[in-house]
């Protein structure tokens, strides 16, 4: 896995290097450390940050170090488009009141336009042993499983695959067998070969092929609420979630599930295209 680790020398940029190094340390492919200089007066701070990044990657294949000057999002996207990477790691800026992950922020712009998965590092997480992969139904939702599985395969993390069964029964009259499916466990859904069960079985098969220890979980309710509840109850180190693709770009509207999840949890989120 070829990883682009990005920093501007700030604390949130260093958090990205530190967390991204947990993955890059295990990859046989050298990472790239990209320092983005937005203000010329920050050059010494940026150089010190990149030196620290190299220290974090000691023992791994020697990383390539690059420095560019300009707007952070534009420079990161240029690098990601002009070179080949499997993942971008970027920090989320500190939260002030309700601002959090705002439309137009550097991390949001990179996640919206990047051609590859983007790991947004936030919170104080320093471990990567428990991963929650949130998957929508259908084959497009399996891309998040593939991406998260690759990370877990490198780091030896355990994975829980989460699928939310929507509360359509609250507003729609359904046959009894479908009502039973709404309340069934992941194991029962897979035994019954329901649509959700088949999807979860495919997800577990993908993870098994990557030698990842995994289990499936279903929750019933509102998608964002249930994802946030599972994150807190399971105390996961990393959350993997898909983002919808429309006309070649990832859509990150305020009402999107992905945006709401990123904005409302305090730990790293890996955003994968669906």
Strands 214-220 and 158-165 turn out to be parallel
* CATH number of the domain that residue 27 is part of: 3.40.50.620
pLDDT band at 253 (very low <50, low <70, confident <90, very high): very low
Same domain, 251 and 175: yes
Check whether 250 has a pLDDT greater than 60: no
Check whether 173 has a pLDDT greater than 50: no
Same domain, 95 and 152: no
> How many structural domains compose the chain?
2
Q: What is the dihedral of CA 112, 103, 236, 17, to 10 degrees?
A: 70
Same domain, 183 and 206: yes
Q: Which of 121, 150, 182 is the last residue of a domain?
A: 121
Q: Which of 69, 86, 121 is the last residue of a domain?
A: 121
Q: 49 and 12 in contact (C-beta within 8 Å)? A: no
Q: By mean pLDDT, which of 106-110, 117-121, 160-164, 216-220 is the weakest? A: 106-110
Q: By mean pLDDT, which of 19-28, 53-62, 255-264 is the weakest? A: 255-264
Q: Give the pLDDT score at 249.
A: 43
Same domain, 269 and 136: yes
Same domain, 115 and 138: no
Same domain, 172 and 268: yes
Q: Which of 121, 138, 158 is the last residue of a domain?
A: 121
Same domain, 106 and 221: no
Q: 235 and 206 in contact (C-beta within 8 Å)? A: no
Q: Give the pLDDT score at 86.
A: 97
- Cα–Cα distances (Å) from 49 to 94, 106, 113, 160, 189, in that order, read 18, 19, 26, 34, 49
What count of other Cβ atoms lies within 10 Å of the Cβ of residue 270?
A: 24
The three-point CA angle 113-67-27 to 5° equals 70
Domain that holds residue 174: 130-273
Check whether 94 has a pLDDT greater than 50: no
Q: Give the pLDDT score at 172.
A: 47
Check whether 267 has a pLDDT greater than 50: yes
* Structure confidence by residue, pLDDT tens digits, 28-40: 999 999 999 988 8
Q: Give the pLDDT score at 182.
A: 56
pTM of the model: 0.88
- Cα–Cα distances (Å) from 268 to 28, 172, 239, 246, 271, in that order, read 23, 36, 6, 24, 10
């Amino acid at each position: 896995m070829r990883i682009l680790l990005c920093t501007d020398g700030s604390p949130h940029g260093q958090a990205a290097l530190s967390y991204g190094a947990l993955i890059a340390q295990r990859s046989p492919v050298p990472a790239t450390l990209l320092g983005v200089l937005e203000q010329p007066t920050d050059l010494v701070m940026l150089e010190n940050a990149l030196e620290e990044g190299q220290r974090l990657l000691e023992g791994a294949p020697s990383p390539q170090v690059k420095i560019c000057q300009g707007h952070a999002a534009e420079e990161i996207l240029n690098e990601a488009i002009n070179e080949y990477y499997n993942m971008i790691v970027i920090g989320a800026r500190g939260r002030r009141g309700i601002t959090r992950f705002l439309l137009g922020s550097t991390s949001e712009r990179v996640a919206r336009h990047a051609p590859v998965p983007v790991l947004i590092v936030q919170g104080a997480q320093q471990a990567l042993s428990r991963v929650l992969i949130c998957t929508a139904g259908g084959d497009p939702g399996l891309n998040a499983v593939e991406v998260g599985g690759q990370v877990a395969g490198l780091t030896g993390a355990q994975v829980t695959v989460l699928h939310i069964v929507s509360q359509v029964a609250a507003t729609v009259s359904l046959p009894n067998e479908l009502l039973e499916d709404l309340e069934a466990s992941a194991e029962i859904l897979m035994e019954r070969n329901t649509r959700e069960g088949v999807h979860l079985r495919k997800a577990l098969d993908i993870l098994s092929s990557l030698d990842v220890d995994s289990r499936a979980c279903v929750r019933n309710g509102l998608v964002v609420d249930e994802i946030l509840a599972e994150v807190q109850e399971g105390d996961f180190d990393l959350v993997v979630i898909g983002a919808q693709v429309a006309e070649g770009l990832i859509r990150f509207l305020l009402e999107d599930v992905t945006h709401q999840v990123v904005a409302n949890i305090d730990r790293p989120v890996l955003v994968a295209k669906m």
